[in-house]
Amino acid sequence: MVEHRMIDVNGIRLHIAEEGEGPLVVLLHGFPESWHSWHHQFGPLSAAGFRVVAPDQRGYGRSDHPDDVTEYSILHLVGDVVGLIRALGEEKAYVVGHDWGAPVAWHTALLRPDVVQGVAGLSVPPPFRGTEPPLAAMERMFDGRFYWNYFNQPGVADAEFAKDPRTTLRKFFFMASGDAPGAGEGKQPLIEHGRGWLETMPDPEILPEWFTDTDLDVLADSFSKGFTGALNWYRNLDRNWELTAAWQGAVVNVPALYVYGDRDLVPAFPGTPELIAALPDLMPNLWRDPVRLEGCGHWTQQERPAEVNAALLNFLTDLRG
């Protein structure tokens, strides 16, 4: 049974959900999500003999929402993971992340390989640092219309999304799913100047089978404090690029697994298809080839829980020996 509590980590308080006993597995959600995005994984992983812990990461849900935007840098986020592992009484853990949680997992393995026994990323591949700040690159490539640039306009997306969180989340989850019209066509998420993003998203009359009204209710409730904390992660993209200069060209050396959906918009971002194809050569300890989920959109562990659970269990039990 999943239990909930608050825990002091890295100078803030995090809400965590946990179940099971055994080697620690930390599950890191993405945007716009919460610990609940892993609700299909708790039972199978804990039944296999793992201690499963999923936090609401900083700026999300019942966890603290620091006011200072600079407190959402990748170094803070990695610090939260390392602090969480220590606060749970462990020295090492397996770290799994989806969407924004994937870069946090990858960077935890990159910066602190001494505390990571294995790392898995869903949707977002490993962090090979580019040659220029990411916001500047997208500004140049898409004339400032890429959604990262839209999110970096202070207060704009915050107000749009908070107006009706339930509608915001319903549209987001359908738009980026494998069920949406045009999913998998490689269309970039662009917002025209002077417009909001939600007005261009389809609003489904019926939710996909994998995303229930209960799921939507739980998720909407977790954004009762608004979206600013979550959006502040994007407002650190260029700062993260500056902070990680010392790791230019570095690779993740701990055992690694990458899973993605073939209808996900993220693996179609500029340069990402080529990166995924090259991962077996770039990653010295990549555990088998990347796992490609047919017909799956962005929300991998929710859209394809059985396949994701099988991949994670094979990976984790193999490492555990």
Residues 61-95: tens digit of each pLDDT: 999 999 999 999 999 999 999 999 999 999 999 99
Whether the model pTM is above 0.75:
yes
Stretch 178-191: mean pLDDT = 91
Cα–Cα–Cα angle for 273, 263, 238, rounded to 5 degrees:
50
Q: Considering only 155-159, 275-279, 294-298, which range has the smallest mean pLDDT?
A: 275-279
Give the sign of the dihedral formed by CA 93, CA 98, CA 101, CA 107. positive
User: Residue 128: pLDDT above 90?
Assistant: no
Average pLDDT, the chain: 96
**How far is residue 238's CA from residue 135's CA, in Å, rounded to a whole number?**
6
Stretch 39-53: mean pLDDT = 98
Sorting pLDDT into bands at 50, 70 and 90, what band is 51? very high
**How far is residue 212's CA from residue 290's CA, in Å, rounded to a whole number?**
29
From the list 87, 108, 98, the residue with the least C-alpha distance to 40 is 98
From the list 153, 201, 160, the residue with the least C-alpha distance to 181 is 201
**How far is residue 315's CA from residue 59's CA, in Å, rounded to a whole number?**
30
Query: Which are the contacts of 310, defined by CB distance < 8 A and separation ≥ 6?
Result: none
Q: Residue 255: is the preceding peptide bond cis (ω within 30°)?
A: no
Q: Give the Cβ contact number of residue 168 at 10 Å.
A: 22
Sorting pLDDT into bands at 50, 70 and 90, what band is 282? confident
User: Residue 159: pLDDT above 90?
Assistant: yes
> How far, CA to CA in Å, does 254 sit from each of 4, 117, 167, 251?
30, 7, 40, 9
Over residues 207-243, the pLDDT tens digits come to: 999 999 999 999 999 999 999 999 999 999 999 999 9
From the list 31, 299, 12, 16, the residue with the least C-alpha distance to 158 is 31
In the chain, what are the domains?
Answer: 3-320 (3.40.50.1820)
pLDDT of residue 321: 86
Stretch 139-145: mean pLDDT = 96
Annotated catalytic residues are 99, 298
pLDDT of residue 186: 83
Stretch 9-32: mean pLDDT = 98
Residue type, 52: V
93 in helix, strand or coil? strand
pLDDT of residue 184: 85
**How far is residue 270's CA from residue 141's CA, in Å, rounded to a whole number?**
9
Query: Angle, nearest 10°, between helix axes 165-175 and 213-222?
Result: 120
Percent of the chain beyond pLDDT 90?
A: 95
Sorting pLDDT into bands at 50, 70 and 90, what band is 6? very high
